[in-house]
Amino acid sequence: MRLFATTVSILFLLVNDSVATSVLSEPAPTNKSNIPDPGGEDWGYLDVRPGAHMFYWLYTSTAASDPTTLPIVIWLQGGPGAGGSGHGNFKGMGPLDLELKPRNTSWVHHVNILYLDNPVGAGYSYVDDLKDLANNATGIALDLVSFMKLFYEKYPDFKETPVYCFSQSYGGKMAAHFGLEMANAMKAGEIESNFKGVALGSAWISPIDSTTSWAPYLLQAGLVDTSRFKMIDKYAAKCRTLVEKGEWKRATRCWSNTEVLITILTHKVDFYNIMYKTSPTLGKSDLQTDDEDEEDNEVQTRAFDFNFRSDDENGLSINDLMNGPVFDKLSATLHHLNHWSDQSADVFKANWVDFMKPAVDIVEKLLEETNLTVAVDNGQLDLICNTPAQLIWAENMKWSNVSDWIRAPRNAFTVNGFTEGFVKRYGRFSFWWVNRAGHSIPYDNPLGSIVMMRDIVGLPREENAGITEEYLAESKKILDKIF
């Protein structure tokens, strides 16, 4: 079965939600070592290597008069090749939404947010020469450590501030590696930082478990019948064989083809939230024939016309926004750039061979060899990085407390009396199931995402939010009576 072709680029990532015109103002005056006043912002480039320029956008929280007293949440988008400055920011949990209206569910009302266009080459970040692109997760993580060193030089008053790296999709794989490299650099005394943990959101940690979980997930969700299930399952099994043989380049092609197969058989299910409406038209580049001998590195950026909900439903598209009003606002900084792209084909292509490699061993190291906290968070409606796949690797991890974690209670968390998801934790590891959310958790379930984020970064629960240990205790009494 190789009707379907290839060349996909994929995409991962996604993000979400809200803001206002007025925000497009100049950075607020600073008081402490360049740190913007509460509710302010700053942006710019830090050169993580010669020829490698990383763009960041920092928003200080509105929740305290001294931003250094609140955690910094770094946001890493996926792809690889999607920039947090656009997706995570305007379509995620930044202070303004796609229409530049204020977003009252922005995380900035709780923490400082640092969006990175990572790796270099994504978003507004750029390299002088394409050969300067990082081509594996370790290289990407080392660039991020280098970024942090420069960040503290620029904003020394943040040195003691707790830092957590949140992420989405391929960003989760990069966040795991980043955490490990940060812990190593801190231990070696190479950097002074209060980096505390990572949150691996909708994360591409075990790519093959995600790929082989697509067929059963679709069957259970009523999106395919048994014969289509078998077609997809069989194709995904081929990908597993390639992964087991270490044929990484072909494995990525196989994964991409499995996506195309599913897209066709499901009339274009939305990989990022199976509840979203889609219409069954195919993109023009979807039906090329596949030749497995052909150079796999040909990546086309067609996935956005294929797998993504059209931004137009909600107004301005992210590309229009980032190349229009946002570009104008940042133009003094961005003078050398032609445009922002929602997904860099060059970055994806550079990481093609690394794409299907797992990071489970990295998560194990985070738990065994560092003091960092590790959270895994996933939306129940995400297909591409579905929750059943995350459970497979999480429950099979080799770290000393894994069986304690598996046996730990699973508590519900609520907002305004409604169940928004569940959490199960032991020691420094927590696993979050988020209800009514797909790939982009802050976009689909903003209130649930805030409860979760505050908990992960160690902020007190808000009045209307809860984690129901009591409910669990009560229900146990009833269950004990009946069974």
Ligand X SMILES: *[C@@H]1O[C@H](CO)[C@@H](O)[C@H](O)[C@H]1NC(C)=O
Catalytic-labelled residue, pool 17, 382, 444, 455: 382
Among 73, 367, 384, 453, binds ligand X (CB under 6 A): 367
Q: CB-based contacts of 392: which residues, under 8 Å, 6+ apart?
A: 206, 209, 213
Query: How far, in Å, CA of 463 to CA of 70, rounded?
Result: 19
User: What is the DSSP secondary structure assignment for residue 23, as one 8-state letter?
Assistant: G
If one asks whether residue 194 binds ligand X (CB under 6 A), the answer comes out as no
Q: Which of 428, 435, 436, 468 binds ligand X (CB under 6 A)?
A: 428
Determine if 464 is a binding residue for ligand X (CB under 6 A): no
Closest CA to 426 of 376, 461, 466, 379: 376
Residue 439 annotated among the catalytic residues of the structure: yes
Taking CB under 6 A as the criterion, the residue among 60, 77, 167, 370 binding ligand X is 370
Does 101 participate in binding ligand X (rule CB under 6 A)? no
Does 107 participate in binding ligand X (rule CB under 6 A)?
Answer: no
Nearer to ligand X, 306 or 429 (CB): 429
DSSP strands (E only) in 295-428: 373-379, 410-415, 418-426
Query: Near ligand X by CB under 6 A, which window of 15-23, 339-347, 363-371, 454-462?
Result: 363-371
Nearer to ligand X, 21 or 371 (CB): 371
Site stretch for ligand X (CB under 6 A), options 132-140, 164-172, 256-264, 302-310: 132-140
Amino acid at 54: M
Q: Has 169 been annotated as catalytic?
A: yes
- Of the candidates 255, 225, 321, the residue with the CA atom closest to the CA atom of residue 16: 321
Residue 139 touching ligand X (CB under 6 A): yes
Cα pseudo-dihedral 32, 96, 420, 444, rounded to 10: -140
What are the distances in angstroms from CA 184 to CA 17, 124, 193, 367, 377?
Answer: 35, 28, 12, 13, 24
Residue 297 interacts with ligand X (CB under 6 A)?
Answer: no
H helices of 111-162, in order, are: 137-154
Nearer of residues 21 and 104 to ligand X, judged by Cβ: 104
Which of 200, 160, 158 lies closest to 179, judged by CA? Answer: 200
Which residue out of 143, 311, 439, 444 is catalytically annotated? 439
Task: Give least dist CB 473 to ligand X, A.
Answer: 21
Q: Which is nearer to ligand X, 38 or 155 (CB)?
A: 38
Choice between 292 and 462, CB closer to ligand X: 462
Stretch that binds ligand X, among 55-63, 67-75, 130-138, 274-282 (CB under 6 A): 130-138
The yes or no reply on residue 187 touching ligand X (CB under 6 A) is: yes
- Phi and psi torsions of 66, nearest 5°: -120, 105
Q: Which is nearest to 423 in space by CA: 414, 434, 410?
A: 410
DSSP 65: S
Number of residues that bind ligand X (CB under 6 A): 15
Q: Tokens at residue 82, please?
A: 């999607």
We find the least distance from the C-beta atom of residue 301 to ligand X, in angstroms, to be 23
Query: Is residue 138 near ligand X by the rule CB under 6 A?
Result: yes
Contact between 184 and ligand X per CB under 6 A: no
CB closer to ligand X out of 204 and 306 = 204
Any contact of residue 401 with ligand X (CB under 6 A)?
Answer: yes
Q: Which residue is nearest to ligand X (CB)?
A: 427
Q: Which distant-in-sequence residues (6+ apart) come within 8 Å of 7 by Cβ?
A: 256, 285, 288, 290, 298, 299, 300, 302
- The catalytic site residues sit at 169, 382, 439
Judged by the rule CB under 6 A, the positions of this chain that interact with ligand X are 104, 134-136, 138-139, 187, 367, 369-371, 401, 427-429
